[in-house]
Chains A and B, each alone.
Chain A
Amino acid sequence: MTDKKQIVRVTDVTKDFDLGKIVVKVLKGIDLEIETGKYVSIMGPSGSGKSTLFNMIGGLDKPTEGKVFIDEVDIAQLDAYELAWLRCRKIGYIFQTFNLIPVMTALENVTLPMTFAGTPNEASIQRGMKLLAQVGLEGRHAHRPAELSGGQQQRVAVARALANSPAIILADEPTGNLDLKTGEEIISLLKEMSDQQGVTVISATHDYKMLNVSDQVIWIRDGRVDKIQDRDELEIHTGGMSS
Chain B
Amino acid sequence: MSHLVVLPWKQSLIMSYKSIRSRFFRSLVTTLTLVLAVSFLAYSQISLDIADRMLATGDSDMHRSLLQSGYDILPGDTSLSSSPKQRWIVILSLLVCVVGIINAQLMSVTERFREIGTMKCLGALDRFIVRIFVMEAAIQGLAGSVTGAVLGAVTAFAGALLRFGTDIIPILPWQTIFSSSLVATATGIGLSLLGVLYPAMMAARMQPVEAMRVEQ
Name A's B-contacting residues (CB within 8 A).
51, 55, 58, 60-61, 80-82, 84-85, 87-89, 93, 95-97, 99-104, 112-113, 115-118, 160, 172, 176
Q: Is the CB of A95 within 8 A of B123?
A: no
Q: Is the CB of B122 within 8 A of A104?
A: no
Name B93-113 residues within 8 Å CB distance of A: none
* Contact status of A99 and B208, CB under 8 A, knowing A115-B11, A116-B6: no
- Chain B residues contacting A96 (CB-CB under 8 Å) are 214
Q: Is the CB of B115 within 8 A of A88?
A: no
Q: Is the CB of A97 within 8 A of B216?
A: yes
Say whether B52 faces chain A, with CB atoms less than 8 Å apart: no
CA distance A172 to B125 in the complex (A): 22
Pick the residue among B21, B120, B209 that contacts A61 (CB under 8 A).
Answer: B209
Say whether B155 faces chain A, with CB atoms less than 8 Å apart: no
Q: Is the CB of B122 within 8 A of A113?
A: yes
Q: Is the CB of A103 within 8 A of B123?
A: no
- Chain A residues contacting B7 (CB-CB under 8 Å) are 115-116
How many contacts A-B (CB < 8 Å)? Answer: 89
Pick the residue among A101, A104, A118 that contacts B6 (CB under 8 A).
Answer: A118
- Chain A residues contacting B128 (CB-CB under 8 Å) are 116
Q: Is the CB of A99 within 8 A of B123?
A: no
5 closest A-B pairs by CB: A88-B123, A103-B22, A116-B123, A99-B118, A113-B122
Q: Is the CB of A60 within 8 A of B212?
A: yes
Name B183-216 residues within 8 Å CB distance of A: 207-209, 211-212, 214, 216
Q: Is the CB of A60 within 8 A of B122?
A: no
- Chain A residues contacting B64 (CB-CB under 8 Å) are none
Contact with A along B1-16 (1 / 0, CB 8 A): 0011111100100010
CB distance from B135 to the nearest CB of A (A): 14
Q: Is the CB of B125 within 8 A of A81?
A: yes
Most interface-central of A55, A84, A89, A118 (chain B CB within 10 A): A84
- Chain A residues contacting B6 (CB-CB under 8 Å) are 115-118
- Chain B residues contacting A60 (CB-CB under 8 Å) are 121, 207-209, 212
- Chain B residues contacting A89 (CB-CB under 8 Å) are 123
Closest partner residue, chain B, to A121 (CB atom): B11
- Chain B residues contacting A93 (CB-CB under 8 Å) are 118, 121-122, 211
Name B113-162 residues within 8 Å CB distance of A: 114-115, 117-126, 128
- Chain B residues contacting A58 (CB-CB under 8 Å) are 121
Q: Is the CB of A113 within 8 A of B123?
A: yes
- Chain A residues contacting B122 (CB-CB under 8 Å) are 87-88, 93, 112-113, 116, 160
Q: Is the CB of B115 within 8 A of A87?
A: no
- Chain A residues contacting B163 (CB-CB under 8 Å) are none
Closest partner residue, chain B, to A91 (CB atom): B121
- Chain A residues contacting B68 (CB-CB under 8 Å) are none
Closest partner residue, chain B, to A111 (CB atom): B11
